[in-house]
Amino acid sequence: MMAALFCLGMLLTMPPAGAEEQAPPAYRISGVVVDAVTGVPVAHAEVSISVGTDETKTTAGEDGRFVFQGLEAAKYPLFATAQGYVREGHNEHGGFQTAVAVGSAIDSEHVIFRLHRQVIITGRVTDEHGETVRQAQVMLFGTESTSGRHARFVQAQMQTDDLGEYRFARLQPGKYYVAVEARPWYAQTGFSYLPEQDRHSFRSTNRGPSPDPSLDVVYPITFYPGVTDEQAAGELNLTAGEKVEANVPLQAVPAVHVRLANLPVGEIAIQIGANEKLFGTLDMALGVASAQISPGEYEVAGLPPGDVKLVVDQGGSQGSSSRAIRTNVSEGETLDGAGTGATANVSGRVIFPAGDANPARGQVSLVGEDTQGASAMLEKDGRFSFAAVLEGAYKVSVNLPVSDEYVGGVYATGAKASGRDITISGAGNVQLNITMGRGVGQVTGVAKVDGKPTADVMVLLVPETGQNLEEDYRLDQSDSDGTFALGGILPGRYSLVAIEDGWDLEWTNGTVLKPYLAKGQTLQISANDQKKVVVEVQHKM
Amino acid sequence: MRRSIPAFIVSFTVLPWLLGVAAALAQQTETENFEVSGMVINAVTGEPVSRALVQMQAGTGKAQFAGADGTFVFRNLARGRYNLTASKPGFFSEQQLGLWNAWRNSFQDVPSEKEVVLKLTPEGIIYGEVKNESGEPVEGVTVRAQRWQTENGRKSLQNGGEAATDDEGNFRLAELTPGSYHLSFVPANRGGWVTYDKLHRRKQTNQGYGPQFYPGVADVESATAIELRAGATVHITQALSRQPLFEVAGVVRGATPVGGFSLTLMNASGDMVQRIVGIDPKSGEFQIPGVPAGTYLLAASAQAPNGNGPQELQVQLTATRLIQLKSDLAGLVLILGRGISVGVQVYGGIPPVETTNVPQVMVQLISKEFLQNSRGTMVPPQNGEPRPAARIEDIPPGTYTVEASPNQPAYIASLRCGSVDLLRDDLTIAPGGVLPPIEVTLGKDGAQLSVKVMEKGQPAAAAVVIYSEEYPRRSVLTQTNETGAFSQGNLAPGKYQVIAVKDALDLEFRSPGAMEKYLEHASAVTLQSGGAETSVRVEVQELPERHR
Q: Is residue B546 in a domain?
A: no
Taking one residue from A and the other from B, the number of pairs with CB-CB distance under 8 angstroms is 107
Q: Is the peptide bond before A220 cis (omega within 30 degrees of 0)?
A: no
A250 in Cβ contact with A193 (< 8 Å):
no
**Do B132 and B160 have their domain in common?**
yes
Question: Is B23 a residue whose pLDDT tops 50?
Answer: no
Give the whole-angstrom CA distance, residue B38 versus residue B116: 4
More reliable by pLDDT, B263 or B99: B263
Cβ burial B113-128 (10 Å sphere, 16+ → b, else e): eebbebbbbbbbbbbb
Query: Which chain B residues are within 8 Å of A13, Cβ to Cβ?
Result: 195-197, 260
B165 in Cβ contact with B139 (< 8 Å):
yes
Q: Is residue B350 in a domain?
A: yes
B89 → closest Cβ in A53, A185, A215: A185
Q: Is residue A52 within 8 angstroms of chain B, CB to CB?
A: yes
Which of B380, B370, B379, B378 minimizes the C-alpha distance to B401?
A: B370
∠ CA A534-A486-A475, rounded to 5°: 100
Phi, psi for A516 (deg, rounded to 5)? -75, -40
Give the whole-angstrom CA distance, residue A362 versus residue A319: 11
Give the whole-angstrom CA distance, residue B292 versus residue A9: 23
Task: Please answer yes or no on whether B174 and A161 come within 8 Å at the CB atom.
Answer: yes
What's the pLDDT score for residue A106? 86
B195 → closest Cβ in A13, A83, A118: A13
SS3 state at B437: coil
The residues in A 258-277 lying below 8 A from B, measured between CB atoms, are none
Query: Which chain B residues are within 8 Å of A167, Cβ to Cβ?
Result: 166-167
**Do B419 and B467 have their domain in common?**
no
Question: Is A215 a residue whose pLDDT tops 60?
Answer: yes
Nearest residue of chain A to residue B52 (CA atoms): A186
Residue B433 is part of a domain; what is its CATH number? 2.60.40
Which of B473, B432, B430 minimizes the C-alpha distance to B337?
A: B432
Question: Is A17 a residue whose pLDDT tops 70?
Answer: no
The amino acid present at A394, given as its one-letter code, is: Y
Query: Which chain B residues are within 8 Å of A9, Cβ to Cβ?
Result: 192
What's the pLDDT score for residue A195? 56
Going through B141-270 in order, the beta strands assigned E by DSSP cover 142-151, 154-164, 170-176, 179-186, 194-196, 207-208, 212-213, 226-228, 233-239, 243-253, 262-267
Nearest residue of chain A to residue B286 (CA atoms): A53
The share of chain B scoring above pLDDT 70, in percent, equals: 82
pLDDT in tens, A409-457: 999 999 999 889 999 988 889 999 999 988 899 999 999 999 999 999 9
Give the whole-angstrom CA distance, residue B394 versus residue B319: 9
What's the pLDDT score for residue A235? 96
Task: Examine the fold and report which residue of B443, B469, B487 is the final residue of a domain before the chain moves on.
Answer: B443
More reliable by pLDDT, B307 or A265: A265
Chain centroid offset of residue B431 CA: 28
Nearest residue of chain A to residue B54 (CA atoms): A186
Question: Is B188 a residue whose pLDDT tops 80?
Answer: no
B17 CB contacts (<8 Å, ≥6 apart)? Answer: B39, B48, B69, B70, B71
SS3 state at A370: helix
Nearest residue of chain A to residue B192 (CA atoms): A10
Which of B240, B127, B140, B190 minimizes the C-alpha distance to A169?
A: B140
**Do B311 and B323 have their domain in common?**
yes
Question: Is A115 a residue whose pLDDT tops 70?
Answer: yes
State the alpha helices, DSSP H only, in A443-486.
Answer: 469-472
A15 → closest Cβ in B175, B197, B312: B197
Question: Is B198 a residue whose pLDDT tops 70?
Answer: no
**Do B21 and B116 have their domain in common?**
yes
What's the pLDDT score for residue A265? 79
| Residue among A7, A13, A53, A118 with most chain B CBs within 10 A, to mutate | A53
Indicate the pLDDT class of residue B143, thresholds 50, 70 and 90.
very high
B262 in Cβ contact with B235 (< 8 Å):
no
Query: Which chain B residues are within 8 Å of A157, Cβ to Cβ?
Result: none
Average pLDDT, chain B: 81
Mean pLDDT along residues B364-391: 76
Task: Please answer yes or no on whether B89 and A53 come within 8 Å at the CB atom.
Answer: no
Give the whole-angstrom CA distance, residue A278 versus residue A255: 19
**Do B455 and B429 have their domain in common?**
no
Range with top average pLDDT, A52-66, A177-191, A203-217, A354-368: A177-191
Query: Which chain A residues are within 8 Å of B87, Cβ to Cβ?
Result: 185-186
What's the pLDDT score for residue A317? 64
Chain centroid offset of residue B283 CA: 42
Question: Is A333 a residue whose pLDDT tops 50?
Answer: yes
Task: Examine the fold and report which residue of B221, B239, B257 is the final residue of a domain before the chain moves on.
Answer: B239
CA distance B292 to chain A (A): 18
A343 in Cβ contact with A428 (< 8 Å):
no
The DSSP secondary structure of B24-79, one letter per residue, reads ------TT--EEEEEEEEETTT--B-TT-EEEE-STT-EEEE--TTSEEEEEEEPS
Task: Please answer yes or no on whether A129 and B62 come within 8 Å at the CB atom.
Answer: no
pLDDT in tens, A124-160: 999 999 999 999 999 999 987 788 888 899 999 999 9
Q: Is residue B204 in a domain?
A: yes
What's the pLDDT score for residue A13? 39
Task: Please answer yes or no on whether B53 and A186 come within 8 Å at the CB atom.
Answer: yes
Indicate the pLDDT class of residue A356, thresholds 50, 70 and 90.
low
B172 → closest Cβ in A55, A161, A361: A161
Decide the pairing of beta strands A88-89 and A78-81: antiparallel
Indicate the pLDDT class of residue B388, thresholds 50, 70 and 90.
low
Task: Examine the fold and report which residue of B121, B143, B161 is the final residue of a domain before the chain moves on.
Answer: B121
A134 → closest Cβ in B89, B192, B289: B89
Task: For each of the domains in chain A, give its residue range(s) and CATH number, in order of start.
Answer: 4-14+24-115 (2.60.40.1120), 120-184+219-254 (2.60.40.1120), 343-438 (2.60.40.1120), 441-538 (2.60.40.10)
Q: Is residue B548 in a domain?
A: no
The residues in A 113-152 lying below 8 A from B, measured between CB atoms, are 118, 120, 129, 131, 134
Q: Is residue A83 within 8 angstroms of chain B, CB to CB?
A: yes
Prediction ipTM score:
0.83
More reliable by pLDDT, B178 or A26: B178
B343 in Cβ contact with B390 (< 8 Å):
yes
Indicate the pLDDT class of residue A23, thresholds 50, 70 and 90.
low
Chain centroid offset of residue A255 CA: 30
A13 → closest Cβ in B63, B125, B197: B197
What's the pLDDT score for residue B65? 92
Which of B337, B275, B271 minimizes the C-alpha distance to B301?
A: B337
Residue B505 is part of a domain; what is its CATH number? 2.60.40.1120
More reliable by pLDDT, B320 or A247: A247
Q: Is residue A19 within 8 angstroms of chain B, CB to CB?
A: no
Q: Is residue B3 in a domain?
A: no
Range with top average pLDDT, B7-11, B21-25, B366-370: B366-370
The amino acid present at A45, given as its one-letter code, is: A
Indicate the pLDDT class of residue A379, thresholds 50, 70 and 90.
confident
More reliable by pLDDT, A483 or A271: A483
**Do B96 and B157 have their domain in common?**
no
Task: Please answer yes or no on whether B278 and A54 come within 8 Å at the CB atom.
Answer: no
SS3 state at B163: strand
**Do B198 and B269 have their domain in common?**
no
∠ CA B335-B341-B347, rounded to 5°: 165
Range with top average pLDDT, A343-357, B44-58, B224-238: B224-238
What's the pLDDT score for residue A198? 43
Task: Please answer yes or no on whether A162 and B204 come within 8 Å at the CB atom.
Answer: no
Question: Is A304 a residue whose pLDDT tops 60?
Answer: yes
B311 → closest Cβ in A12, A214, A360: A360
What's the pLDDT score for residue A205? 42
B224 in Cβ contact with B308 (< 8 Å):
no
What's the pLDDT score for residue B383? 55
CA torsion through residues A36, A42, A46, A49, sign: positive
Question: Is A88 a residue whose pLDDT tops 90?
Answer: yes
A407 CB contacts (<8 Å, ≥6 apart)? Answer: A396, A397, A398, A420, A434, A435, A436, A437
**Do B136 and B36 have their domain in common?**
no
The residues in A 356-415 lying below 8 A from B, measured between CB atoms, are 357-361, 380, 401-402
Task: Please answer yes or no on whether B314 and A402 come within 8 Å at the CB atom.
Answer: yes
Task: Please answer yes or no on whether B197 and A209 come within 8 Å at the CB atom.
Answer: no
Nearest residue of chain B to residue A129 (CA atoms): B51
The amino acid present at A501, given as its one-letter code, is: D
The amino acid present at B139, given as its one-letter code, is: E
Question: Is A16 a residue whose pLDDT tops 50?
Answer: no
Mean pLDDT along residues B64-78: 91
Q: Is residue B4 in a domain?
A: no
Average pLDDT, chain A: 86
Question: Is A8 a residue whose pLDDT tops 60?
Answer: no
Neighbour count for residue A393 (Cβ, 10 Å) = 17
More reliable by pLDDT, A225 or A144: A225
Indicate the pLDDT class of residue B467, thresholds 50, 70 and 90.
very high
CA distance B90 to chain A (A): 8
Instruction: Give the domain range for residue B404.
Output: 340-443
Q: Is residue B58 in a domain?
A: yes
Which of B200, B333, B319, B338 minimizes the C-alpha distance to B261?
A: B319
Question: Is B200 a residue whose pLDDT tops 70?
Answer: no
Indicate the pLDDT class of residue A70, thresholds 50, 70 and 90.
confident
Q: Is residue B547 in a domain?
A: no
Q: Which of A228-232, B127-131, B403-407 has the lowest mean pLDDT?
A: B403-407
**Do B257 and B323 have their domain in common?**
yes
SS3 state at B220: helix
What's the pLDDT score for residue B100? 66
Report chain B's terminal Cα–Cα distance, integer Å. Answer: 55
**Do B452 and B531 have their domain in common?**
yes
What's the pLDDT score for residue B431? 76
Query: Which chain B residues are within 8 Å of A169, Cβ to Cβ?
Result: 166-168
What's the pLDDT score for residue A353? 82
∠ CA B223-B225-B226, rounded to 5°: 135
Q: Is the peptide bond before B352 cis (omega within 30 degrees of 0)?
A: yes
Mean pLDDT along residues B142-165: 88
Q: Which of A357-366, B12-21, B329-338 has the lowest mean pLDDT?
A: B12-21
Kindly list the distances between the CA atom of residue A200 and the CA atoms of A40, A194, A195, A268, A300, in Å, as whole numbers in the listed order.
Answer: 79, 15, 13, 19, 21
CA torsion through residues A240, A242, A243, A245, sign: negative
More reliable by pLDDT, A386 or A163: A163
Name the domain count of chain B.
5
Cβ burial B218-234 (10 Å sphere, 16+ → b, else e): beeeebebbebebbbeb
CA distance A396 to chain B (A): 23
Give the whole-angstrom CA distance, residue A73 versus residue A25: 8
Give the whole-angstrom CA distance, residue A262 versus residue A183: 30
Indicate the pLDDT class of residue B27, thresholds 50, 70 and 90.
very low
